[in-house]
Structure 1
Amino acid sequence: MPAEKKGTTTNIYGEVDQIIKERLSQFNPDDIVDFRSDTVSKPTKEMIAAMYTYPVGDDGYGEDPTVNLLEQTVAELAGKEAAMFVASGIMSNQLALRSHLQAPPHSVLCDARSHIFNLECGGVAIHAGALMTPVRPSKGRTYITVPDIEEALVHTSIYSAPTKLIALENTLDGEILPIEVIQEIHEFAKSKDLPLHLDGARLWNASRETGIPIKEYAKYFDSVSLCFSKGLGAPIGSVLTGSAEFINRARQWRKIFGGAWRQAGHLAGACLYALQNHFPNLNKDHAAAKILGQRLEEMGYKLIKRVDTNMVWVEDSEALISLNEMAKEVASYGIKISGSSRFVIHLGNRDHVDRLTNAMQEIIEKRKNGGVINAI
């Protein structure tokens, strides 16, 4: 993930400065459109109405019928024996890592740009006493391959924390990891007797774009985490899938983490609704992202990653207005952008690409004409 420029006041994580807050405060919150991330997607009115129709019980006893239905549905979707509903993608990943790893010394090999390495607070060190081995793709590639992994593999010795798990992410920065590469990594991991975990928070997007079923991707992994609160628009929740033995172990770790549910059926219902009603429409996000990418290029911003799914990554070295400055200016139009490199399309903004690009174009034209963009 691109590093932040020194002195910027907004970034990929969506932190905003006081100027932006003041400008956005002039708008009704419901009228603000947010392009920072798909994590900001909100439940639709239809989803909220549907949530209350689902029955609930005590999931601590395994008696919430809607949670059970969600877990069974996702397990079948992923071709796994079992599944477990948890509060977040980070919890799902961390439970997976902890459940795979037995006793130190050990390490997890992953892509250097991955979420588990950059954005989970070093959780695997805290929860499992494990090191992480970040791997970068070979020059000219946008994803890691078997040679990259083989070169970085930590072997057993009296001095080392040997690799005991390989973790991949798909999509990563919106780019799709080809299934042929996944298969090759699977074969390599199998030859080394190493389990393979997938952070599939946005595997939904990869599946919709390629037409490859979730099950086809998942069959190469020992565990898969699938998130419902990003592009699918649920208010909360991820599902971890794997063998029955693995999920039973993960359930105990979930209890230790303090993550057990009680009457979680309404939340699980939102995820079931998302599967039926939002998953099929992810292609609309991808189409909107491609349009946004084209328009940003026309405005002088340079694409730095492929627009495979719902993310657009650009840099502003040759643009008239920096992205950091543009974040402040579009706030006057009731629009949030990260001020960094990333724009993300989701069900809450896919129909507002014109609003964003028209605002940006107007701001650029004012600058070209020497006008004051905003007095605040």
Structure 2
Amino acid sequence: MASSIEAARAKVAEQVKVDLLAETQDLDNEKAAAEIARSFISDTITAPTKEMYVYAVRASLGDDVYHEPCTKALEAHMAKLTGKEAAMFVPSGTMSNQLALRTHLKQPPYAVLCDHRAHINRYEAGGTAFHSGAHLNCVIPANGHHLTVDDVRENVVLGSDIHSAPTEVIALENTLNGTIIPQEDVVAISKFAHQNGIKTHLDGARIWHVAAETGTSLQELLEPFDSVSMCFSKGLGAPIGSCLVGTKEFIVRARWLRKLFGGGMRQTGFMAASAAYALTHHFPLLPAVHQLTRKLEDGLKEIGCDITSGAETCMVFYDPSPVGVTYAEIAERASKLPVPLKVGGSRLVVHIQTSPTAIEDFLAIVRELAEQKRQAGFVAPERKVSANGNIPKDIYVRSGVDARA
């Protein structure tokens, strides 16, 4: 009998076994790293470095629902860094944003005012409506760049008119599509909000870029906000994770809601350690990223492309139609290089693992296609340039595939 049970157990164990690693895994990883260096799709594609892994595997082994030392240390650092009372580590920026809104929003009816291009509006699967039952009041900035206090005054819902959902939260995003909101406008919006009993939240997924570009401390940048979501897996290149910061009372409730959302995690030490490594070693790389992005923009301008949103940090949006070229033609030519480039539509994202050679190769493709069109008789149409030097177009009307995260 015992032998038959052991045999059955051995059979089940054999069925359970799985090996995910390919025989060529090390070579595959090297190939993937090379592909990442030549992709302009997003900064989410960055891969953990060997040095980051070495640091991460030494992390503590606690359970974060109970007590995880490295994660608690990261949260304490983030609170101190941002000048907030408390912080909470979460799996993703989307969860961090949605937890913040759900924590702020207590009793409907209520609304959240945001830029029409905001991540919480376009790229979080309707989470604000689903999780919080909140209306999103999406505003188009009058200046075409960022929301100002005048935009907010024009669109905020105050008072007791029963026909409208009152504004309970104003949510900003910095950077938004790689652009920086001037701090004076942030302060003005926050002052207006708090004078009217409205909470302020920042989707600061890429706030690191603002700090790196302007030399402004995180504490100063985030002081106007009641809560902030900050991502480790975009510009900083960690494999996973975001942090939500706010008051102690706010984070206590948000932690409860994190459990409700299914976001309570267990051995998160290696994740926290990866984030810590990224903060220490990758944040200083961001100014070079911005320099490469500006080089990309300058090259596109020199060729004759329109810039629809300039390279303030790590992104540039462009339109090649003035030189007779389409996004599809660029993508096809890029895919056929001896060492291919990966591009989508009008958005180009530069990250800490982008190769400078990739910039040169991309510009060479656009330049070559533009010259071929010119030789075939294409004549560029007259262009209208806005006061800020960019072309006044809706950068969300695109050809090709753009990753928005």
Which residue matches 2:151?
Answer: 148
> Does the aligned pair in 2 maintain the 1:59–1:261 contact within 8 Å?
yes
What residue in structure 1 maps to residue 361 of structure 2?
355
Q: Aligned to 1:54, which of 29, 42, 59?
A: 59
1:39 deviation in Å?
1.2
**Matching residue of 2:174:** 170
Distance 1:160 1:365, change over 3 A: closer
Write the distance in 2 (CA, Å) between the matches of 1:274 and 1:116: 25
Instruction: Pick from 172, 193, 212 the counterpart of residue 189 of structure 1.
Output: 193
1:222 aligned to 2:215?
Answer: no
Rounded Cα–Cα distance in structure 2 between residues aligned with 1:133 and 1:350: 40
Secondary structure at the residue paired with 2:220?
A: helix
Q: Is the 8 A contact 2:297 2:310 kept in 1?
A: no
- Distance in structure 1 (CA, Å) of the matches to 2:307 and 2:373: 22
Partner of residue 336, structure 1:
342
Aligned length: 342
- Residue 124 of structure 2 aligns to a residue whose secondary structure is coil
Residue 279 of structure 1: how far off its partner (Å): 0.6
Select the residue among 312, 327, 352 that pairs with 2:316: 312
Letter in 2 for 1:99: T
Alignment counterpart, residue 303 of structure 2, candidates 285, 292, 299: 299
The verdict on how the C-alpha distance between 1:29 and 1:367 changes in structure 2, with shifts beyond 3 A counting, is: farther
State the match for 2:277 in structure 1: 273
- Runs of 5+ unmatched residues, structure 2: 1-27, 377-405
After TM superposition, the score normalised by the length of structure 2 is 0.81
Alignment of 1:7-46 (within 5 A): 28-32=31-35, 33-46=38-51
Which residues in structure 2 correspond to 1:100-111 (within 5 Å)?
100-111=104-115
**Deviation at residue 328 of structure 1 after TM alignment:** 1.9
AA partner of residue 197 (structure 2): D
Q: 1:28 to 1:363 in 2, by over 3 A?
A: farther
**Partner in structure 2 of residue 96 of structure 1:** 100
CA distance in 1, matches of 2:64, 2:156: 40
Find the residue that maps to 1:39 and give its secondary structure: coil
CA distance in 1, matches of 2:363, 2:162: 57
* Matching residue's letter, 1:34: S
Q: Give the counterpart letter for 1:358 in structure 2.
A: A
| Distance of 2:229 and 2:212 partners within structure 1 | 17
Deviation of the 1:364 alpha carbon: 4.5
What amino acid maps onto 1:60 in structure 2?
Answer: V
CA-CA distance at 1:362 after TM superposition: 4.2
Q: Which runs of 4+ in 1 moved over 4 A?
A: 362-370
Map of 1:199 onto structure 2: 203
Deviations 1:308-328 (A, max 9, x none): 111111112212321222112
1:70 & 1:278 partners in 2: Cα distance? Answer: 16
Partner SS, residue 241 of structure 1:
strand
> How far apart are the structure 2 equivalents of 1:300 and 1:42?
34
Give, in angstroms, the shift of residue 44 of structure 1: 1.6
Identity across the alignment (%): 44
State the structure with more CA Rg.
Answer: 2
Matched residue SS, 2:44: helix
Shift of 1:230: 0.6
How far did residue 30 of structure 1 move? 3.5
C-alpha deviation, 1:178, in angstroms: 0.6
**Native 8 Å contact 1:284 1:350 kept in 2:** no
Residues 158/363 of structure 1: CA separation in 2 closer, same or farther (3 Å cut)? closer
- Residues 125-150 of structure 1 show CA distances to partners (whole Å, capped at 9, x for unaligned) of 11111000001111x34111111111
Over the residues paired in the alignment, what is the CA RMSD in angstroms? 1.7
How far residue 35 of structure 1 moved from its aligned partner, in angstroms, is: 0.4
Which amino acid is the alignment partner of residue 275 of structure 1? L
In 2, Cα distance between equivalents of 1:214 and 1:320: 43
CA contact (8 A) 1:225 1:241 kept: yes
Shift of 1:55: 1.5
Give, in angstroms, the shift of residue 368 of structure 1: 5.8
Matched residue SS, 1:212: coil
Between 200-209 and 34-43, report the one with greater CA deviation.
34-43
Which residue of the partner structure matches residue 79 of structure 2? 75
Higher relative contact order (CA 8 A, sep 6+): 1
Q: Which residue of 1 aligns with 2:400?
A: none
The answer to whether the 8 Å contact 1:288/1:350 transfers is no
Q: Would the aligned equivalents of 1:231 and 1:346 in 2 still touch at CA under 8 Å?
A: yes
Please list the CA deviations of residues 90-137 of structure 1 after superposition, one character each: whole Å capped at 9, or x if unmatched. 000000000000011110000111111111111111111100000111
